[in-house]
Amino acid sequence: MRILLALDDSKFSEVVTDALIAQAKSSNAEVHLLHVVEPFPVDLAQKLGSRDSPDFVAAHLQQREWAKEMLAQTAEKLRSAGFKVTSSVEEGDARDVILNHAENWGADLIMVGSYGRTGLVHFLMGSVSEAVVRHAGCSVEIVRIRSAR
């Protein structure tokens, strides 16, 4: 089974990883870790001077390096649990990158976390997990953090 594990910079990344380990530990799963670096907004680049300003470039490089480190730590955790793991950091709209990567790689399952946003925030920001569920050509599992009720 080929599982695309889409990770972001939130606490959901660890929860999704733990869910994968708990559910597929005994399978012979191949896992690809994917982190998508979203392009910085144009207005931010303009405030910093230009897309080529040293601050903009440094912040972008720092974000990519952090992503690589996070994926390396997650990959080690999954390898320790017996998974075959590859990873990549890509740039673009997370929805599109996840869907394209899953299709090109031939994923059987996409696992993503969900923030559980509702109302105006959901309307304005959209939902990566919702877009992936609606448009994926394979099964999708959305992992949520249980709230203390």
pLDDT at 26: 66
What does pTM read for this prediction?
Answer: 0.81
The Cα–Cα gap between 60 and 48 comes to: 12
Burial of 113 (0-12, 13-18, 19+ CB in 10 A): buried
Domain spans of the chain?
A: 2-143
Other beta carbons within 10 Å of 88:
15
Specify the CATH superfamily of domain 2-143: HUPs (3.40.50.620)
Question: What pLDDT shows up at residue 144?
Answer: 80
Residue-level pLDDT at 122? 40
Q: What is the mean pLDDT of each run of 10 residues along the chain (149 residues)?
A: 89 87 83 88 57 67 89 95 95 93 97 63 59 93 70
The confidence score (pLDDT) of residue 1 equals 92
Residue found under tokens 């896992």: 31
User: How far is the first Cα of the chain from the last one, in angstroms, to the nearest whole number?
Assistant: 35
